[in-house]
Amino acid sequence: MEARVGARAPEFSAMAYQDGKFKKVKLSDYQGKWVVLCFYPGDFTFV
Protein backbone atom coordinates (compact mmCIF):
# COMPACT_ATOMS: atom_id res chain seq x y z
CA MET A 1 0.00 0.00 0.00
CA GLU A 2 1.24 3.49 -0.76
CA ALA A 3 0.26 6.93 0.49
CA ARG A 4 -1.62 9.18 -1.92
CA VAL A 5 -2.80 12.77 -1.59
CA GLY A 6 -6.48 12.83 -0.64
CA ALA A 7 -6.58 9.14 0.30
CA ARG A 8 -6.80 7.57 3.74
CA ALA A 9 -3.33 7.15 5.24
CA PRO A 10 -2.12 3.55 5.62
CA GLU A 11 -1.87 2.20 9.17
CA PHE A 12 1.59 2.51 10.72
CA SER A 13 3.35 2.80 14.06
CA ALA A 14 6.40 4.82 15.06
CA MET A 15 8.33 6.06 18.06
CA ALA A 16 7.33 9.57 19.14
CA TYR A 17 8.46 11.99 21.83
CA GLN A 18 5.37 12.82 23.84
CA ASP A 19 4.85 14.08 27.40
CA GLY A 20 8.60 14.12 28.12
CA LYS A 21 9.33 10.57 27.00
CA PHE A 22 9.54 8.35 23.93
CA LYS A 23 6.65 5.99 23.27
CA LYS A 24 5.27 3.91 20.42
CA VAL A 25 2.21 5.44 18.76
CA LYS A 26 -0.07 4.09 16.04
CA LEU A 27 -2.08 6.10 13.56
CA SER A 28 -5.21 4.23 14.66
CA ASP A 29 -4.71 5.67 18.19
CA TYR A 30 -5.95 8.96 16.73
CA GLN A 31 -8.90 7.68 14.70
CA GLY A 32 -11.64 10.31 14.48
CA LYS A 33 -9.22 13.14 15.29
CA TRP A 34 -7.32 15.57 13.09
CA VAL A 35 -3.68 14.50 12.68
CA VAL A 36 -0.74 16.33 11.11
CA LEU A 37 2.11 14.06 9.99
CA CYS A 38 5.54 15.70 9.71
CA PHE A 39 8.79 14.04 8.78
CA TYR A 40 12.25 14.86 7.50
CA PRO A 41 13.24 12.23 4.92
CA GLY A 42 16.89 13.39 4.87
CA ASP A 43 17.29 13.97 8.61
CA PHE A 44 20.47 12.45 10.11
CA THR A 45 21.89 11.69 6.66
CA PHE A 46 24.65 13.27 4.59
CA VAL A 47 22.27 14.29 1.80
Q: What is the pLDDT of residues 20-46, one digit of tens each?
A: 999 999 999 999 998 887 766 666 666
Q: What is the pLDDT of residue 6?
A: 83
- 24, with CB counted inside 10 A (0-12, 13-18, 19+), is exposed
Provide the domain count of the chain: 1
Q: Give the domain extent around 42.
A: 12-47
Would you say residue 30 lies in a domain?
yes
Contact residues for 15 (Cβ-Cβ < 8 A; gap 6+): 22, 23, 24, 25
Write down the pLDDT at residue 28.
Answer: 93
Residue 47 within a domain: yes
Decide if 23 is inside a domain: yes
Report which secondary-structure segment, H or E, holds 25.
strand 21-26
Predicted confidence at residue 9, as pLDDT, reads 81
